[in-house]
Amino acid sequence: MNLPAPGIIWASLPIPALLIAPDNRIEEINPAAELFLNASARSLKGQPVLDALSIDAPLDEGFARVRANQAALFVNDVDVTSGERPPVQCTIQVAPMQDAPDRLLLLISPRELADRLGRGSGAKTAAKSAIGMAEMLAHEIKNPLAGISGAAQLLSMNLSPEDRELTDLIVEETRRVVKLLEQVEQFGNLRPPERQPVNLHDVLDRARRSALVGFGSRMRFVEDYDPSLPPAWADPDQLQQVFLNLLKNASEAAGPQGGTIRLRSFYDHALRLRRPDGSGSALPLTVEVIDDGPGLPPAIAADIFEPFVSGRPNGTGLGLALVSKIISDHDGWIAVDSVPGRTVFRVSLPMVPKERRKS
């Protein structure tokens, strides 16, 4: 069997990898590390590695120990920051190169990849629970609520204006609960995606235009698209619903003063979805919706895609749960990184399968 060339293996590594020179400067960097650092190999080569990366661990001492002992070093759960990127918990591995012991191989395994997989799996379970709840609530609650509302309206016809306020309150509250139940029912009524080749930028543009004439009229939109991005394998209408919900979430977080929403697309080959049969598929098409709002409340950040979890006083907590379900039905993943002043919702989707591509 002919083994692939070392250069091909280096470029194919799915996690960020850096080759560190004896003076602790970056000598080589793989494509996954370029994406992670959001910088090109040309601009990073020759830089001190701890200038390009801020790592919450004494790696100067670690590098010296690896070289002295000629043994690998593992550092778990450290915060890694680069440029404008918020801190990401990672596992750091440093190993000496066999043919050049003063040179080191630095591997960075972001925990966000595992978090994205875990959140996606949890989204499917949460969606199933919400569907079951929707069926039960629709049958057991909506019909009695209609009767309560009708009875209150009849009673109000013979009441004084002061007492009519109470019956009006009953009618208003029953309508609010019915509206909530109808939102929950969307989980059960959502049809399977009708997939076709989709230009993500066209979908984003339609969502942006819709937002500008409504809930996003106070927002400034910045587009940062990769023009070479290939089509996604998706349902365009359902994707538009996803991006509209994300834009609405960002607009409402900004408050009356408005803010900036950045729409970014890029190709990321680092994430792969493993199916139950053991096969895997890449999710290289990535869209980020970035806002400069106050960020997610820490108490709910880990559960933001669960039904009925909301950071707003009057929120239902169903918008992001529905987004998560749609992306899960597309065999994709959604994740969020949030710190005050910068919240990033990241959607990863598959390309059109080879057998469906036009020759």
Percent of the chain surpassing pLDDT 70: 78
Give me the pLDDT at residue 136, please: 63
Give me the pLDDT at residue 124, please: 52
Instruction: Read off the pLDDT of each residue in 14-42 and give the average, rounded to a whole number.
Output: 86
**DSSP-assigned letter for residue 260:** E
- For 98-149, write each residue's pLDDT tens digit: 878 789 999 988 765 545 444 545 555 555 555 565 556 665 676 777 788 8
Give me the pLDDT at residue 231, please: 94
- For 190-206, write each residue's pLDDT tens digit: 678 899 999 999 999 99
Q: Which residue has the higher pLDDT, 95 or 183?
A: 95
Residue with tokens 């989707």: 349
**Residue 214 — pLDDT band, cuts 50, 70, 90?**
confident
Other beta carbons less than 10 A from residue 314's beta carbon? 6
**Residue 350 — pLDDT band, cuts 50, 70, 90?**
very high
Instruction: Read off the pLDDT of each residue in 53-72 and give the average, rounded to a whole number.
Output: 85
- For 285-323, write each residue's pLDDT tens digit: 999 999 998 888 877 766 777 766 666 655 555 678 888
Contact predicate 287/346, CB 8 Å: yes
What integer best gives the mean pLDDT of the chain? 80
DSSP E strands, 42-165: 54-55, 73-81, 88-96, 104-110
Integer CA distances (angstroms), 24 to 39, 67, 106, 187, 213, in order: 18, 11, 11, 53, 52
Q: Which residue has the higher pLDDT, 321 or 187?
A: 321
Residue 262 predicted with pLDDT over 80: yes
pTM for the structure as a whole: 0.57
- For 109-122, write each residue's pLDDT tens digit: 876 554 544 454 55
Q: Which residue has the higher pLDDT, 226 or 83?
A: 226
* DSSP H or E stretch at residue 241: helix 236-254
